[in-house]
């Protein structure tokens, strides 16, 4: 059994923390981001990782930063002092959301410790950065996976300890792929911890400098649907932005979110992109810059996700009219 310090924030990280706990390791401290306003009332809400940690009576620390020369220098100094005083074997990091300074690595690599092991949702060096799941779907990748990485000061540049692939289907959304990768990440970090416990060493391999791509942070402005783009690209974008931020289009001053989509076969070259070609049981068929798209699930402001064909009928949409 290892003594683990865990740093993470969202559901992806919670899955890993849960796997580590179920494997019997002792999580001696959890670092997670501060509580954030959420929901209609904008009340402070604990992260999924904090919620799980508290149910297991694990000490939780929530510094705004760990950088001793930043805006929260005193808070960072205090957090580093806490980390320095903890008796642990390894620090596991998963979607923490804060930059780790060299001081953290120095502590985590001292006295035969395993250092900082990161669970990254891509096949490094492809999709380093903030949004690897979104960008893999958006780019049309047929495969992704999990990399267990020995962290360093670079952006996901550390040596890779282990890597496993996961296929991306043509119906995959970020929501569905996230859940599969989270489970795989939990399994792989447990295996890495087991290997370190047995051997007190984790072999790793430096990343290949060729093939590096960066998964830039998702911006809400990216989510607006441009019907002049090819259907293939729009299909990927809508699936990539489900559940966040949700691809959207505006019709008659109302912003609709598109959640479900499939490729269609009804468009003609002379049809204006954004035109409704048909409304049937499949959904709302829309012309694009190349090919057609079938919207299968839509949501209007204040409403629930619903069948696109049903919503279109309720709102009296007709063939030939424009979306956006």
Give residue 79's pLDDT.
97
Tokens of 56: 């297991």
CATH 3.10.129.10 fits 220-314, yes or no: no
Where are the alpha helices (H) located in 71-147, listed in sequence order?
A: 73-85, 102-108, 132-138
- Residue range(s) occupied by CATH 3.10.25.10 in the chain: 220-314
State which fold the 3-214 domain adopts: Rossmann fold (3.40.50)
Give residue 207's pLDDT.
97
How far apart, in whole angstroms, are the C-alpha atoms of residue 271 and residue 227? Answer: 11
Instruction: Tell me the mean pLDDT in the region 211-231.
Output: 95
CA separation (Å) from 219 to 130, 163, 215, 224?
A: 11, 28, 12, 10
- Residue range(s) occupied by CATH 3.40.50.170 in the chain: 3-214
At residue 293, does pLDDT exceed 80?
yes
At residue 298, does pLDDT exceed 90?
yes
Instruction: Tell me the mean pLDDT in the region 174-197.
Output: 98
Instruction: Tell me the mean pLDDT in the region 162-169.
Output: 98
At residue 54, does pLDDT exceed 80?
yes
Give residue 75's pLDDT.
96
CA separation (Å) from 203 to 62, 64, 154, 162, 192?
A: 32, 33, 19, 9, 10
**What dihedral do alpha carbons 55, 61, 64, 65 form, nearest 10°?**
-130
């Amino acid at each position: 059994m290892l003594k683990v310090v865990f740093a993470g924030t969202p559901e992806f990280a919670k899955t890993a923390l849960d796997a580590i706990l179920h494997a019997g390791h002792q999580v001696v401290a959890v670092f997670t981001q501060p509580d954030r306003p959420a929901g209609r009332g904008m009340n402070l809400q604990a992260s999924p990782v904090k919620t799980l940690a508290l149910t297991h009576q694990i000490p939780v620390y929530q510094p705004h930063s760990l950088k001793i020369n930043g805006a929260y220098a005193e808070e960072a100094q205090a957090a580093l002092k806490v980390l320095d005083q903890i008796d642990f074997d390894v620090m596991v990091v998963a979607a923490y959301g804060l930059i780790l300074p060299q001081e953290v690595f120095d502590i985590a690599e001292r006295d035969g410790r395993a250092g900082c092991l990161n669970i990254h949702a891509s096949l490094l060096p492809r999709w380093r950065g903030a949004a690897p799941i979104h960008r893999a779907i958006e780019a049309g990748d047929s495969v992704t996976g999990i990399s267990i990485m020995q962290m360093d000061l670079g952006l996901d540049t550390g040596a890779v300890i282990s890597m496993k692939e996961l296929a991306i289907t043509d119906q995959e959304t970020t929501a569905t792929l996230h859940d599969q990768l989270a489970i795989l990440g939990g399994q792989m970090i447990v295996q890495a911890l087991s290997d370190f416990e047995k051997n007190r060493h984790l072999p790793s391999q430096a990343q290949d400098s060729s093939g590096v791509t960066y998964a830039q942070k998702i911006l809400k402005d990216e989510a607006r649907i441009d019907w002049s783009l090819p259907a293939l690209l729009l299909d990927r974008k809508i699936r990539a932005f489900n559940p966040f931020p949700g691809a959207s289009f505006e019709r008659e001053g109302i912003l609709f979110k598109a959640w479900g989509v499939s490729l269609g076969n009804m468009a003609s070259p002379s049809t204006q992109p954004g035109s409704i070609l048909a409304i049937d049981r499949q959904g709302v068929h829309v012309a694009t810059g190349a090919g057609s798209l079938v919207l299968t699930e839509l949501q209007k402001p204040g409403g629930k996700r619903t069948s696109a064909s049903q919503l279109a009928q309720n709102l009296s949409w007709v063939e030939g009219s424009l979306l956006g």
